[in-house]
Structure 1
Amino acid sequence: MHENNFTVETMISMLEQRDITAPINEECNKFNIKTGDIVIDYGCGSGGYTKKISELLGENGKVYAVDIHELAIESVKKKINKYQLTNVETVLVKNINEIRDTASDVIIAIDMFHMVQDKNVFLKELYRLIKKDGTLFISTHHMTSEEVERIILDSKLWTIQCEIDNCLKCIPLLK
């Protein structure tokens, strides 16, 4: 267990370094986030995207920062306190049912899909969470675009509108 915690701590540290140098503001522009939206940052890591999305949403919007690792959630909680992000709620994946059905306008899943064990179950859960006119942005990092496209289309829950900078923009099929 200790070795696993070290790996997660290392990952959080790497993500925090990435957030310092990465153009997160530009990245978030492609998500078409509007003031007042409800966004799920699935696989939030250290919360780099979460912070920027929180700012874009304003006080009437909400971000659910979701991650499988408790250390990631703790990292986001520190950002919530440091930057007074009143519209962010953290959720451990094991508690994902706390988010109601069709809650989100936008779901982003950046640089994490390759680590998901059961991708079909994951896509089904995202489908449960998205509004009928919502949008899913899922990155193709560490996999080929074709492989990610095939998995998404084979789920029969999503259609792909386009690819933007290694990120597939998907919409739910009939809800």
Structure 2
Amino acid sequence: MPHRKLASLCCFALLISPLSAEEIPPALKEYQGRTIAQTMHYQGAPWLIRESREREEDCTTMVKQLGLKPGMIACDMGCGNGFYTLKMAEVVGAEGRVLAVDIQPEMLRLLQARAEEAEIKNVDRILGDVHDPKLPAGQVDLILCIDVYHEFSHPVQMLAAMRESLKPTGRLVLVEFRAEDENVPIKPLHKMSKDQVNKELTANGFRLARQFDDLPWQHMMFYARDDSPKDEAKLAPEQPPTETEPASK
């Protein structure tokens, strides 16, 4: 049994980069007129795997909308205990990888336990910094940020790092609870409007590629690097449900 456990741990690598000598920029309390929420503590992790989550978020549809394919390199940014990480890992398959980034080592340990139980081995855990997710440059096909971007204390630095990590055809997908809908039972501090998301992303080197509007409580917005080719078909599902293209101005 000890040898079996050791082998499992070796296959499921924890990637921790040494602390940078450079000074970490000061954390922001507000950005572009928005109050930044505090990071969810790891003790709240059970909420991430609540039984009602499929009904509240339509997780199955959300994952299909990502357009992931076998062999892709995807990132679950702010992965927590891996609710979406493991779903993504199943889609990209043994030839693909999921880079699971979190700033709390406790969350990564919870993810490790869940991955081992599910016998999923194509996940790399990355202990990021508040200003740097420690992603490889130019290698990532898709970065998923689910209900986490609004907690970034260093949004400018994080967006720059994520942009640098994407392939030219890569996508950054933001999923946030809809601030426009007062019936969504989430505190306002943990919601974002489409206009706010778009204002912040376009100010940091991204352009809106497409949107999916049929989730129960959340926006789903796909961003490309603003220097990327405008070929939106590469990461779209083969038969997408109702979606809307960004309006031209």
Q: TM-score, normalised by structure 1?
A: 0.88
Query: Quick one: distance in 2 between partners of 1:111 and 1:170?
Result: 16
- Can you list the C-alpha shifts for 1:94-118, whole angstroms capped at 9, x where unaligned? 3733x32012101101100110112
Q: Is the 8 A contact 2:133 2:162 kept in 1?
A: no
* SS of residue paired to 2:168: strand
Q: Which residue number in structure 1 is paired with residue 133 of structure 2?
A: 96
Bigger fraction of residues in helix: 1
Q: Which residue number in structure 2 is paired with residue 14 of structure 1?
A: 47
Query: Quick one: distance in 2 between partners of 1:15 and 1:162?
Result: 26
Q: Report whether the alignment pairs 1:40 with 2:93.
A: no
Q: Is the 8 A contact 1:24 1:52 kept in 2?
A: no
| Structure 1 residue 19, shift from structure 2 partner | 7.2
Query: Quick one: distance in 2 between partners of 1:69 and 1:116?
Result: 13
Report the AA paired with residue 174 of structure 1. D
| Structure 1 residue 169, shift from structure 2 partner | 0.5
Query: Quick one: distance in 2 between partners of 1:93 and 1:137?
Result: 19
Determine which structure has greater relative contact order: mean sequence separation of CA pairs < 8 Å that are 6+ residues apart, divided by chain length. Answer: 2
* SS of residue paired to 1:66: strand
Q: Is the 8 A contact 1:19 1:48 kept in 2?
A: no
Q: Report whether the alignment pairs 1:116 with 2:169.
A: no
2:166 to 117, 130, 133: 130
Q: 1:114 to 1:96 in 2, by over 3 A?
A: closer
- Can you list the C-alpha shifts for 1:56-98, whole angstroms capped at 9, x where unaligned? 011100000111111211111011211111110111113733x
Query: Quick one: distance in 1 between partners of 2:85 and 2:138?
Result: 20
Flag structure 1 segments of 5+ consecutive residues without an equivalent. Answer: none
Q: TM-score, normalised by structure 2?
A: 0.63
The structure whose Rg is larger is 2
* SS of residue paired to 1:140: strand
Q: 1:150 to 1:128 in 2, by over 3 A?
A: same
Report the AA paired with residue 39 of structure 1. A
Q: Report whether the alignment pairs 1:149 with 2:198.
A: yes
- In the comparison of the two structures, how many residue pairs are matched? 168
Q: Which residue number in structure 2 is paired with residue 174 of structure 1?
A: 227
Q: Which residue number in structure 1 is paired with residue 209 of structure 2?
A: 161
Report the AA paired with residue 209 of structure 2. Q
Q: Which residue number in structure 1 is paired with residue 116 of structure 2?
A: 81
Runs of 4+ in 1 over 4 A off after TM superposition: none
Q: Which residue number in structure 2 is paired with residue 30 of structure 1?
A: 65
